[in-house]
Each structure stands twice: as C-alpha cells, then as structure tokens.
Amino acid sequence: MEQVDRKTINDEVVTIMSTTLILIRHGETIDNAARTPRGQGQGELTEMGWAQAHSVGERLSRMAFDHLYCSDLNRAVQTASAIAARTGHEPIRKACLRERDFGQFEGIPWAEIAVRFPAELAQYRSGNPDIAPPGGESSRRLQERSVQCLQTLSRQHAGQTIVVVTHGGVIHSLLREVLGIPLETPRRFSAANASTSTFRCRDGDWKLVDFNDTSHLASESPPAVWRFTSEGSAEHHS
C-alpha cells in the first residue's frame, strides 16, 4: 500500500513517501461512563465498549493497512485485540501512546475532585498548558510526547498505512499540532469512543483527512464527521 508523491528539487525528481495514520480512540470504559479520569491507570471496557471495538474491527477488516499499534494501557489493548480478531494483525504496544497522566486525579470522579482538590482543579482548568494535575502531566508535555511518538511511527512506516489505537488526549494533541490550535485555546472538539481520525504525513508535513468518524457504530442519528479536502477546506458530513 505504497503512497508515493514526487516533487522537483534543484531540477531533480525526488520521491516522497507519505504515511497514513488511522487513529482510533479506545471503546467506552467503566470510567468514561462514570465521568472519572483514568489517565494512565488500567481501565476496562464496558459491554458497550467491546461492541464498539468489534464494530471498528469489522470496518477495518474491509480496509487494507500494514500495521496495528496500540497504547499499552488495558482499554487500548482490549480494543486492539478486538480489531486484531477481525483483521489478523498482531497489535504492537507502545507506552508513548498512553493517555495523559492525571496524577492524583486518576480514578476519582470529577465531581469528587471538585470537592477534594478545589484549588488544584481550578489551576488545571485555567488553560495554562504548563500546569499539571498534582503528580501528573501537563497538556504541553502530553502534546510533545504524543506528536514525537506519532512522528516516529510515520517515519518508520513511510509509504504505508498504519492503525493506531490510543486515547482522546493523544488524538486531540495531534489535531491541535496539525491545525495550529494553541494549547491555551479551550477545546471545542472531541474524539468519541471507537471513532477513527485519519491523518497523512509526508516529509514531516501533516494533513488532516477526517476527524471523529463514527459511521461504523450503531446510532439513532447520523454521525458528524469532518473531512478535509486536498486544498485544506473542511466539509461537514452528518
């Protein structure tokens, strides 16, 4: 599944290999349903989460791709295993694909955090990308780690298509990087559980192909999907 582009540099035709990355957020977890940050703890998929994972696996079984990567956290591993059961790929676990470290907030419902850590929560919500939850990771550090990890995978698999099962924080970090959205800007977007978001990287230049595609999941209403043209304009599909 080679993806080859050619451009002329100093009158010489140079072959540039692009990499397609299909990023998938893990299926729904018990903590997602309970509005509890799990961060780098080991969460479990709910029955709904397993159904979502099998649905995205069914969709990917009809697509050609080269490698399957996943975060080494349990909820991502479970989602990747459901995909692998449909596609036959062996999941490759990577610690750098983990969710943000929420430190002392992990495993506590947000409503309880507001009571137990009011000052710390106010700082966390201040929009300062260098402030981290107590004992945790700042949004700037999360973005640096996530983008570096995905850049490395892109270089390693130039000309190929790879599937990456990861977490909302990682996907949102790459989206901000690619679209130039400052970390200080409040987040007005969200990758749903088991959604796919596709990016293409060529010679270090990133493009967003689509974001938050849930068309493979059962739903009472059509999914909202943003797809991006080669000219960079956005088209909304629902």
Q: What is the pLDDT of residues 64-74, one digit of tens each?
A: 999 999 999 99
Q: Give dist(CA 227, CA 221) in Å, integer.
A: 18
Residue 238 has pLDDT above 50, yes or no: no
Binned at pLDDT 50, 70 and 90, residue 113 comes out as very high
In the block, tokens 């981290």 appear at: 132
Domain ranges of the chain: 16-237
- Give residue 141's pLDDT: 97
Binned at pLDDT 50, 70 and 90, residue 146 comes out as very high
- Give residue 43's pLDDT: 86
Binned at pLDDT 50, 70 and 90, residue 233 comes out as very low
Q: What type of residue is 78?
A: Q
Tokens read off for 227: 């797809």
CATH topology of domain 16-237: Rossmann fold (3.40.50)
Beta strands per DSSP E along the chain: 4-9, 12-25, 67-71, 92-94, 161-166, 196-202, 205-213, 225-228, 234-237
Tokens read off for 33: 């349903």
% of the chain surpassing 70 pLDDT: 85
The residue with greater pLDDT, 3 or 23, is 23
- Summarised one tens digit per residue, pLDDT across range 14-62 is 567 899 999 999 999 999 988 998 888 888 999 999 999 999 999 999 9
- Give residue 231's pLDDT: 45
Q: Give dist(CA 190, CA 199) in Å, integer.
A: 16
Q: What is the H or E stretch that residue 56 is in?
A: helix 47-60
Residues noted as catalytic: 26, 99
- Summarised one tens digit per residue, pLDDT across range 149-207 is 999 999 999 999 999 999 999 999 999 999 999 999 999 999 999 999 999 999 889 99
Binned at pLDDT 50, 70 and 90, residue 221 comes out as very low
The residue with greater pLDDT, 13 or 132, is 132
